[in-house]
Amino acid sequence: MSDSESRPLNILCLATYFKGVDFIRECKAHGCQVVLITKEKMLAEDWPRDSLDDLIALPNDAGPELFIHLASLLVRQTRIDRVVALEEFDVITAAQIREHLCLDGMTSATARLFRDKLAMSSKVNAAGLHVPEFVPLLNHNDIRDFIDRVPPPWVIKPRSDVSAIGIKKGVEPGDVWSAIDELDRRERPRERSAHYLLSRFISGDVFHVDSLVSNGRVIFAGANQYGRPPMDVAHKGGAYISHTILHGEGDEKKLFEINRKLLKILGLEAGATHAEFIKSHADGEFYFLEVAARVGGAYIADVLEAASGVNLWREWAKLELAEKPASRKLTAPRKEYAGIVLSLAKQEYPDTSAYNDPEVVYRVKKKHHVGLIVRSKKLERVQELLSQYSVRFTEDFEAVLPPLERAE
């Protein structure tokens, strides 16, 4: 029996933002020693301190080298068995720590495929999946050729940010060149145009598939559809909506098939993923947008748990704790439907007591946010409630802020 098998595992978690409470609790429930490294701005968040053996905050501007140095100091006293990034921005840093400590797990090369939209799009496109035409904002001749060849509108987006942060839309060549000039005036080199991508804008419905992977195989997946594309919500305001789609029907089957191919192409062996696809209004095809090696944000995990009974955070923790290359199997998830409506709110803590339908299973508790998750055995009922609530939210709570240019 190895030393790691004869003692509780030591888990090092990284979380630049407040994520992964259930993951931490699950590790502690299995007897693990859990250390969390976050940043100073997140130290006051409601971390599960009763499940943490140590909570360390680095300066807000700390780079990967400081995380690696801290991990090296920690390992002097306590051997580290697993390094896990609970948040998107820490995926590559966690991989670099693993490599520095010679631990098993995702390498930085694979991690980059889940962080850099140019890297992931190039890899997926070369493998034959549908990807909107794209070009990096690097060689100006290539950019001119793209503008001449690909009809507008176009989307200018950062290669490594999340959600709709920093995304701009262009309809004329001048929009692209003006955006490049504006980006290149930024103080930080990593925020300039070389770290951006230009791609064809596709009008369509946006879906996301959230998965658990064990031993290179998808063992659970849930497919949801956004009420409106996230970019529209970020730029125009209004409620964010996401709900599960019809089980066993054409869209779900096609999305699951594409998702399996996608994760095999990118070489993920184990973990949680969040992938986004758009179904084109023009040709009905699904196009790959982006993928991340993490649990989806915006309460996606809560929606999937309401519909299926599967808690992505807890199951991901079990995958991390399993002996390699052991393969986990999940009990059959329930086939119900769930959805969320979420919005910024004028009130610090909005009162949603008037929203008292029996299908409401969760109320978001976050400053200046209002959100409800509903569950039903019928998709039509979920869609009906989300539609009603989105209108009522506008009247009762809604606040609108300018879209973020960069992650705060």
Q: What is the pLDDT of residues 105-161, one digit of tens each?
A: 999 999 999 999 999 999 999 999 999 999 999 999 999 999 999 999 999 999 987
User: What is the predicted pLDDT for the residue at 236?
Assistant: 64
Tokens of 200: 């064809």
Which residues are CB-neighbours of 312 under 8 A, at least 6 positions away?
Answer: 210, 212, 272, 295, 296, 301, 304, 305
Q: What is the pLDDT of residues 268-302, one digit of tens each?
A: 999 999 999 999 999 999 999 999 999 998 899 99
Q: Is residue 120 part of a domain?
A: no
User: What's at 348, amino acid-wise?
Assistant: E
Q: Is residue 121 part of a domain?
A: no
Same domain? 257 vs 377? yes
Domain finish residue from 149, 179, 200: 200
Confidence of residue 374 (pLDDT cuts 50, 70, 90): very high
- Total-model pTM: 0.91
Nearest one of 229, 218, 225 to 271, comparing CA atoms: 218
Domain finish residue from 156, 172, 200: 200
Mean pLDDT across 53-63: 96
Q: Is the pLDDT of residue 235 over 60?
A: no
CATH code, domain carrying 60: 3.40.50.20
Domain finish residue from 176, 200, 224: 200
Mean pLDDT across 338-363: 95
User: What is the predicted pLDDT for the residue at 162?
Assistant: 60
The residue behind tokens 């429930």 is: 29
Q: What is the pLDDT of residues 297-316, one digit of tens each?
A: 889 999 999 999 999 999 99
Q: Is residue 347 part of a domain?
A: yes
Q: Is the pLDDT of residue 46 over 90?
A: yes
Same domain? 290 vs 188? no
User: What is the predicted pLDDT for the residue at 407?
Assistant: 54
Same domain? 272 vs 352? yes
Query: Exposed, middle or buried, 304 (CB in 10 Å: 0-12/13-18/19+)?
Result: buried
Strands 168-170 and 217-226: unpaired
Same domain? 191 vs 219? no
What domain range includes position 145? 133-200
Q: Is the pLDDT of residue 2 over 50?
A: no
User: What is the predicted pLDDT for the residue at 331?
Assistant: 77
User: What is the predicted pLDDT for the residue at 329?
Assistant: 72
The domain total for the chain is: 3
CATH code, domain carrying 153: 3.30.1490
User: What is the predicted pLDDT for the residue at 338?
Assistant: 98
Confidence of residue 228 (pLDDT cuts 50, 70, 90): confident
Same domain? 77 vs 141? no
Mean pLDDT across 80-84: 97
User: What is the predicted pLDDT for the residue at 322?
Assistant: 86
Q: Is residue 113 part of a domain?
A: no
Same domain? 195 vs 220? no
Q: What is the pLDDT of residues 167-189, one digit of tens each?
A: 889 999 999 999 999 999 999 99
Same domain? 158 vs 260? no
Contact assessment for residue 10 and residue 78, using Cβ atoms and an 8 Å cutoff: yes
Q: Is residue 128 part of a domain?
A: no
Same domain? 290 vs 380? yes
Range of lowest pLDDT (36-45, 55-64, 329-338): 329-338
Confidence of residue 400 (pLDDT cuts 50, 70, 90): low
Mean pLDDT across 392-398: 87
Whole-number mean pLDDT of the chain?
92
Q: Is the pLDDT of residue 405 over 70?
A: no
User: What is the predicted pLDDT for the residue at 3?
Assistant: 47
User: What is the predicted pLDDT for the residue at 401?
Assistant: 53
Same domain? 259 vs 389? yes
Q: Is the pLDDT of residue 406 over 60?
A: no
Mean pLDDT across 69-95: 96
Confidence of residue 1 (pLDDT cuts 50, 70, 90): very low
Same domain? 221 vs 98? no
Q: Is residue 244 part of a domain?
A: yes
Q: Is residue 112 part of a domain?
A: no
Q: Is residue 363 part of a domain?
A: yes
Same domain? 225 vs 195? no
Q: Is 368 left (phi over 0), alpha (psi -120 to 50) or beta?
A: left
